């Protein structure tokens, strides 16, 4: 049996300032070392000042993953020398001397599979290293140093790399939904894994660039271990790095001796008391969970389970849904978003480019329901609104999308079709199941504007007369 555990680093990208100083939490696209102060650059005499909201956001993740939050949390220093650590220690949390991490012992059920969360800890991100050409000199940029980060450690409960992928997708949706992180920002979510086969040794997998590659890395490693064991060769307990170019894992070359991190309590940060009232306040601030949201969509509006699933797990689209629907048009709005809109914009960048607003969606749904627009024309209108941001009325006028539902006009068109399609008419008289072919001809002539129900009605009458 394969056992896989994960360590997920998730930046709290929704914060304004760093974990221990007032520099910007968003470090991307800034000039090197322009977002630093004595605290995050580790100057002598500087002291860490803990960000209240970072504690709250980390507590939200803990709650969302069913963890216990202790009454007192504490910080530790993890001591090791590395140029991306300006103090040569990282301020983090540690449970070896009592549970003082922000979260412990949680669990989350995904597709019937229970995944236990061992620990959630709040910590600072190191700086960023750039390697310079042939000399291999290391250039250091501390803009990222001190960015608030949550590390989520799971028990080795996964049995396949695919379960890992499903879990990570759910986790990404979850942190986005509760408003603590944008998991699709570059470097916002990073995953290390550990994997073992049967009673074999555990191998750590690090350096997986994107969290989508972790499935591939784990899969490679699983196969490697299985084939070793089949040949009776024991698996070595070690850390292996994912080689992105060659798509394989390789043993870490540096014979990194067993690290001794010499953990020590961080006395510059007092023990933080988290009162029950504070936890209650945090709970109230937490948005509805994805699971609860999905249930509400199904129960309250009768939205099909599959549509509700898609809608609830995407924070962007569920927010759009909440803003654009009412009791009456909810189902239609859900349908427009999940079948049409989603196909235009499935990535973060595309979502940001959308010119469409809740107002657009809402009036589109109403028009379809009021028979002012066919579903087909609706699709065209949506596409135009997404591109231009023009109002529905403007779009309908410019594309000539008005609905044709008066009997006379439709009768005229049907007469034309009957003349052109004699063979099909005869066929339809004999076999009523083929009537759709004629409906399609009418639709093509009207560019999809004819009301399908009226068309069918008149067609039947004419065929049987």
Partner 1 sequence: MNLGISATEFVSQAKVGTISVEEFVAKTLDRIKLVEEKVHAFITVDNQNALAKAKEIDKKIKSKDKVGICFGMPVSIKDNLCTAGMKTTCASKMLENFIAPYDATVVSRLKSEDAIIIGKVNLDEFAMGSTTEFSYFGPSRNPWNVDYVPGGSSGGSGVSVSALECLASLGSDTGGSVRSPASFCSVVGLKPTYGLVSRYGLVSYANSIEQVGPMARTVEDVAFLLNIISGYDSHDDTTIKNDSVDYTKDISLGISGKKIGIITQMIGQGVDQEVVSATNRAISKLQELGAECIPISLDAVEHSVAAYYTIASAEASSNLSRYDNLRYGFDFGTEGYEFKAFISKARSNFGPEVTRRMLLGAFVLSAGYYGKYYLKAQKVRAMIKAQLDEAFKKVDFLISPTMPILPFKVGEKIDDPLKLYLTDINTITANLSGIPAISIPFEISSSGLPIGIQLFANSFEEKKLLQAAYALHKTTHLPEVPL
Partner 2 sequence: MVERKEIEHLGDLVKVDLKEPEKYIKQVEQIIKYFDRLDTVEFNSDDTLRNEVDSENLRDDKHEPYDISLIDHLKKDQDNFIRAPKMV
Nearer to partner 2, 147 or 374 (CB): 147
Non-local CB neighbours of 155 within 8 Å, separated by 6+ positions: 5, 115, 116, 117, 118
When asked if residue 136 is in the footprint of partner 2 (CB under 8 A), the reply is yes
CA atoms within 13 A of residue 389's CA, in its CB half-sphere: 5
263's contact among partner 2, partner 1, Zn ion, none, with CB below 5 to 8 A by partner kind, is partner 1
Task: Name, in order, each residue with C-beta under 8 angstroms of 243's C-beta and a sequence gap of 6 or more.
Answer: 249, 250
Please choose, from the candidates 63, 54, 285, 296, the residue with its C-alpha nearest in 3D space to the C-alpha of residue 181. 54
Pick what 32 binds: partner 2, Zn ion, partner 1, none; C-beta below 5 to 8 Å, kind-dependent.
Answer: partner 2
| Residue 21 lies near Zn ion (rule: CB under 5 A) | yes
Q: Is 321 left (phi over 0), alpha (psi -120 to 50) or beta?
A: alpha
Q: Name the residue with tokens 């986005």.
A: 176
Binding mask 88-127 for partner 1 (x = CB under 8 A): xx-------x------------------------------
The site map against partner 2 for 274-313 (x = CB under 8 A) is xx--x-----------------------------------
Interface of this chain with partner 1, residues 149 to 208, rule: CB under 8 A: none
Tell whether residue 267 is a contact of partner 1 (CB under 8 A). Answer: yes
What is the distance between the alpha carbons of residues 92 and 78, in angstroms, rounded to a whole number?
7
Interface characters, 51-90, with partner 1 (x: CB under 8 A) = --------------------------x-x-x-x--xxxx-
106 bridge partner residues:
117
* Residue of 12, 15, 23, 222 that binds Zn ion (CB under 5 A): 23
- Find the binding residues for partner 2 in span 213-272 (CB under 8 A): 254, 260, 262, 265, 267, 270-272
Q: Which of residues 33-62 bind partner 2 (CB under 8 A)?
A: 33-38, 41, 43, 49-56
Stretch touching partner 2 by CB under 8 A, among 28-36, 355-363, 418-426, 438-446: 28-36
Distances (CA, A) of 291 to 172, 300, 310: 14, 14, 11
Please report how close the Cβ of residue 106 comes to partner 2 at its closest, in angstroms: 20
Residue of 2, 408, 394 lying closest to 218 (CA atoms): 2
Answer with the entry of partner 2, partner 1, Zn ion, none that 42 interacts with (C-beta below 5 to 8 A by kind): partner 1
Member of 12, 15, 25, 40 binding Zn ion (CB under 5 A): 40
26 contact partners, CB below 8 Å, separation of at least 6: 13
Of residues 222-261, which lie at the interface with partner 1 (CB under 8 A)?
A: 260
Distances from the Cα of 298 to the Cα of 15, 295, 303, 331, angstroms:
33, 5, 5, 10
Nearer to partner 1 among residue 76 and residue 297 (C-beta): 76
Element (H, E) at 422: helix 422-430
Task: Tell which residue, 390, 435, 391, 396, has the closest CA to residue 417.
Answer: 435
Residues that bind partner 1 (CB under 8 A): 38, 41-50, 77, 79, 81, 83, 86-89, 97, 135, 137-138, 140, 260, 262-265, 267-270
């Amino acid at each position: 049996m394969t056992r896989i555990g994960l360590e997920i680093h998730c930046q709290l990208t929704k914060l304004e300032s760093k974990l221990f100083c007032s520099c910007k939490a968003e470090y991307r696209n800034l000039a090197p070392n322009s977002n630093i102060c004595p605290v995050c650059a580790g100057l002598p005499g500087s002291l860490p000042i803990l960000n209240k909201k970072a504690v709250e956001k980390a507590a939200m993740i803990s709650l969302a993953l069913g963890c216990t939050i202790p009454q007192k949390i504490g910080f530790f220093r993890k001591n090791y020398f590395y140029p991306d650590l300006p103090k040569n220690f990282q301020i983090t949390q540690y449970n070896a001397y009592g549970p003082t991490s922000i979260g412990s012992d949680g669990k989350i059920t995904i597709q019937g599979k229970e995944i236990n969360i061992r620990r959630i800890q709040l910590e600072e991100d190191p700086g960023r290293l750039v390697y310079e050409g042939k000399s291999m000199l290391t250039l250091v940029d501390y803009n990222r140093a001190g960015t608030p980060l949550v590390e989520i450690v799971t028990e080795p409960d996964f049995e396949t790399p695919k379960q890992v992928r499903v879990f990570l997708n759910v986790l990404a949706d979850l942190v986005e939904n509760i408003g603590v992180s944008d998991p699709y920002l570059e470097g916002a979510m990073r995953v290390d894994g550990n994997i073992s086969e049967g009673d074999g040794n555990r191998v750590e997998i690090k350096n997986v660039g994107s969290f989508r590659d972790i499935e591939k890395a784990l899969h490679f490693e699983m196969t490697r271990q299985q084939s070793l064991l089949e040949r009776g060769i024991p698996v070595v307990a070690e850390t292996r790095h994912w080689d992105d170019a060659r798509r394989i894992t390789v043993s870490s070359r540096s014979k990194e001796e067993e690290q001794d991190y010499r953990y020590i309590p961080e006395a510059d940060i007092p023990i933080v008391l988290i009162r029950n009232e504070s936890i209650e306040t945090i709970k109230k601030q937490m948005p509805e969970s994805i699971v609860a949201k999905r249930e509400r969509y199904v129960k309250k509006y009768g939205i099909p389970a599959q549509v509700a699933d898609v809608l609830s797990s995407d924070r962007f689209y569920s927010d759009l849904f909440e803003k654009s629907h009412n009791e009456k048009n909810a189902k239609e709005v859900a349908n427009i978003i999940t079948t049409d809109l989603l196909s235009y914009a499935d990535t973060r960048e595309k979502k940001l480019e959308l010119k469409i607003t809740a107002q657009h969606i809402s009036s589109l749904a109403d028009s379809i329901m009021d028979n002012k627009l066919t579903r087909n024309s609706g699709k065209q209108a949506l596409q135009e609104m997404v591109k231009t941001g023009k109002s529905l009325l403007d779009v309908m006028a410019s594309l000539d999308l008005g609905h044709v539902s008066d009997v006379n006009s439709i009768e005229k068109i049907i007469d034309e079709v009957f003349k052109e399609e004699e063979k099909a008419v005869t066929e339809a008289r004999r076999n009523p199941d083929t009537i759709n072919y004629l409906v399609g001809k009418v639709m093509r002539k009207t560019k999809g504007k004819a009301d399908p129900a009226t068309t069918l009605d008149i067609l039947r009458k004419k065929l049987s007369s």
